[in-house]
Every structure is written in structure tokens, then in C-alpha cells.
Amino acid sequence: MTAGATPDRPDEPPQMRIVRPYALTGGRTRSGASDLPIETLVRTSARGREVGPKLQLEYRTIAEMCEEPLSVAEVSVHLGVPLGVARVLVTDMSEQGLVDVHKGRTDRPNQALLERVLHGIRDL
Amino acid sequence: MGFETSNDRGAPAAGDEPLQPVKIVISGGFAVGKTTFVGSISEINPLTTEAAMTSASTGVDDTSKVQTKTHTTVAMDFGRISLGGGLVLYLFGTPGQARFQFMWDDLARGAIGAVVLVDTRRLADCFPAVDYFEQLGLPYIVAVNCFDGLQFHEQQAIREALSVPRDVPLVFCDARERTSTKESLIMLVEHALSRAE
Ligand SMILES: Nc1nc2c(ncn2[C@@H]2O[C@H](COP(=O)(O)OP(=O)(O)OP(=O)(O)O)[C@@H](O)[C@H]2O)c(=O)[nH]1
Ligand SMILES: [Mg+2]
């Protein structure tokens, strides 16, 4: 067994301790996390794929399921946690480079984007 | 063609494709067909996510007359439509109760617009949603869910009874029918486009 492969080991190298226990996110509010629009798309980064298996459960699960991009809302459903918790987890992972987030717009979509959407729906 | 060279290299690797989520809000009164509407066109079965809500009880809530902080969750369902080229459209149904307005604000922010569904038997139920989107200035259309079909003269009567502003498109739809839902969404995006110009 490789030393450090288990995130809970107290003697693990610091670089492996890149996540905090899930329990800490319960009820935690974070500036940043609440800014993450609900439709924000989350995709596992190369780094997330690499270290994913060593991560603690919730992060590992997110790294696995976001190989195919999923919204924060979907992450919340598939992980079985409230939206706010999903936001915090995704924000943490994003800060650590484990996932890339593609945010929804906070302003009104512009004309070019609306036209893409219109064509996309017409082609359905 | 601009100075893009990506064509020479073929399609970008899947992991590099830029992603753009967009969303449309599906609103209206209780049991008006929101989830049905979303499910008729979504590529996934509508999912339900829960958001925790903390608020001071005001007495509006019959279950808690005590003036303390209450913790409840509000359920919200949604569907997804991939539109190609990394563009993904999410349809979010608004939680019905007005006291969940914080959630509505969250949903409306950055949205293309809203479809307000109307049940012909309970027209007035759509007014809170109409008022909300009017105040917000978010483009919206009114879609009358014709549960059991409607005669033309009934449609005219409904149009008058609803008295939504003249520039708001009104459509008669069947929330169970994909084609109908698609038409409503197209109408909304066209309306949003006309407002964007
Ligand atoms: N006959 C008929 N029934 C419909 C139609 N649209 C919805 N229904 C039915 O009406 C009921 C309510 O529809 P939902 O889609 O759950 O409505 P909703 O707005 O999501 O309801 P809430 O989320 O509870 O507010 C369901 O039993 C649907 O099957 C329709 O166009 N025709
Ligand atoms: Mg519903």
C-alpha cells in the first residue's frame, strides 16, 4: 500500500491533504460559493482526474461524475446534498484546480448567445 | 472566418470544448404542469434538487407561529437540453410558494427569460408570477396549458381575462407534447431577442 494514498492518514504528505472533511461544509457559508449560478457547468480537470481516486468521498464522487460536464444542480441531486452544500464543494474543488467551472451568466444573455440558443432549439 | 485556426486542427478535444450553460425559468401556479412541461423536452428525467432556507417566521406560516428562525427546504425541479457546441440549456421550475422568492431571484438571475404556465380553470394563479417577471423586467411569455383542449372562443375569452401587457406573447400549449413545448421555448427566445435589440 502506497503511503499517503489514504487521505485520512495523519502522516500523509501535505499535498495529499487537499480537501477538508465533508462535515465541515455543513451549514458553512462562503463568499464565492453563493455566487455560483445553479446552472454552472462543472467538468473534472486533468488534475482532478489524476488525483481523483485519492480524494475523500464527496470530492472523489464529484470528480468521477463530472468527467461529463454536469451543472451544480445535477451535482447536488446525484450527490444527495442540498444545493448550498454542492456549491461549497464545487467551489472548493475549483479553487484547488480539481474541476473547471463554466459559470452561467449573471447578466442578461446577449443577442449572439440568444441566437445560438434559438438555432439550437429549432434544430432539436 | 476570423483568425481562428481551430478548424485546421479539427474539433477540439472534448475536455477543451468551451461550455456555456443557459437557463429558462418555468413558472406559474400550483400543479399547472411545470414539471410536465420540463419533462416533455428534457433529455434527462426531471430532477429535483433541494435548497435549504433559513428565515424568520412571520406568522404567515401556519405551522410555526413562534417568532424564531426556521429551517426548511424548498424543492425545485429541472431538466436539461444539450444544444450542441457546448451550449446546454437548463429548464428550472419555480417552487410555487411566494415565500420562496429568494429562490426565484436565484433562478431569474442571468436567465434568458420565463415561461409562465396558466391553468384555464385557475387563471388568477399565474398573476404572482406575471407580476414578479414584470417587476424584474425579465422577458416572459404566457403559455396557457390546454389541459383538455380549448375552443377558439374560449381562447379569446382567456386572452381577455388574463389581460397581460399587449407586448407579452401568449401561446396555447399542451405541456405533455414535446413539439408544443419546443414552440413555446422558441417563442420565448424570440421574444427575448426582440428585447435584446
Ligand atoms: N390532461 C392533462 N393533464 C396534464 C397536463 N399537464 C399536466 N397535467 C397533469 O396535471 C398534474 C400536474 O402537473 P405537474 O406537471 O406535476 O404540475 P406542476 O406545475 O409541476 O405541479 P407542482 O410542482 O406541484 O406545482 C399532473 O398530474 C399532470 O399529469 C395537460 O396538458 N393535460
Ligand atoms: Mg412540479
**Strand residues in chain B grouped as ranges (E):** 20-28, 47-56, 69-84, 87-93, 113-119, 140-145, 170-173
Among the listed residues A84, A34, A32, A22, the one whose alpha carbon sits nearest the alpha carbon of residue A59: A22
Taking contacts as CB-CB distances below 8 angstroms, the residues of chain B near A104 are 21-23, 110
pLDDT reported for residue B104: 87
pLDDT reported for residue B115: 98
Which atom of ligand 1 lies closest to the CA of B39?
Answer: 15
Q: pLDDT tens digit string along A26-78?
A: 444 444 556 789 999 999 999 999 998 899 999 999 999 999 999 999 999 99
Residue B152 Cα to ligand 1 midpoint, Å, equals: 22
Q: Which residue in the set B90, B110, B189 is minimally distant from A105, CB to CB?
A: B110
Q: Which residue has the cell 503511503?
A: A3
Q: Where are the domains of chain B?
A: 6-53+69-196
Helix (H) or strand (E) holding B155: helix B152-162
pLDDT reported for residue B15: 59
Q: A107 and B110 in contact by Cβ < 8 A?
A: yes
Supply φ then ψ for residue B72, to 5 degrees. Answer: -130, 170
Q: Is A124 on the interface with B (CB under 8 A)?
A: yes
- Find the residues whose C-beta lies inside 6 A of ligand 1: B 30-36, 93, 96, 145, 147-148, 174-176
Shortest distance, CA B75 to any CA of chain A (angstroms)? 10
pLDDT reported for residue B12: 44
C-alpha pair distances (Å), B29 with each of A76, B2, B95 = 25, 48, 9
Beta-strand pair B20-28/B87-93:
parallel
pLDDT reported for residue B159: 82
Taking contacts as CB-CB distances below 8 angstroms, the residues of chain B near A71 are 21, 80, 88, 90
Q: A69 and B88 in contact by Cβ < 8 A?
A: yes
Percentage of chain A lying above the pLDDT 70 cut: 73
Q: Which CATH number is B6-53+69-196's, of 3.30.2320.50, 3.40.50.300, 3.10.300.10, 3.40.50.970? A: 3.40.50.300
pLDDT reported for residue A2: 39
**Sequential pLDDT tens for chain B (197 residues):** 333 333 333 344 455 678 999 999 999 988 999 999 999 999 999 999 888 766 554 444 445 444 555 667 788 899 999 999 999 999 999 886 666 777 888 899 999 999 999 998 899 999 999 999 999 999 999 999 988 777 777 777 888 888 888 889 999 999 999 999 999 999 999 999 999 86
pLDDT reported for residue B197: 67
Q: Which residue in the set B109, B182, B193 is minimally distant from A115, CB to CB?
A: B193
Residue type, B145: N
Q: Where are the domains of chain A?
A: 21-123
Q: B196 and A116 in contact by Cβ < 8 A?
A: no
Average pLDDT over residues A22-28: 46
Q: B47 and A74 in contact by Cβ < 8 A?
A: yes
pTM score, whole prediction: 0.83
pLDDT at A23 over 50: no
- Give the three-class secondary structure for B65: coil
pLDDT reported for residue A8: 43
Q: A38 and B23 in contact by Cβ < 8 A?
A: yes
pLDDT reported for residue B96: 67
pLDDT reported for residue A11: 41
CA-nearest residue of chain B to A84? B51
Q: Is A108 on the interface with B (CB under 8 A)?
A: yes
* Pairwise pLDDT comparison (B177 vs A21), residue with the higher score: B177
C-alpha pair distances (Å), A61 with each of A2, A47, A66, A102, B130 = 21, 15, 8, 19, 40
pLDDT reported for residue B75: 84
- Asked: is A21-123 a CATH 1.10.10 domain? The reply is yes
Q: Which residue in the set B20, B182, B196 is minimally distant from A121, CB to CB?
A: B182
Residue type, A18: I
CA-nearest residue of chain A to B92? A39
pLDDT reported for residue A88: 94
pLDDT reported for residue B81: 98
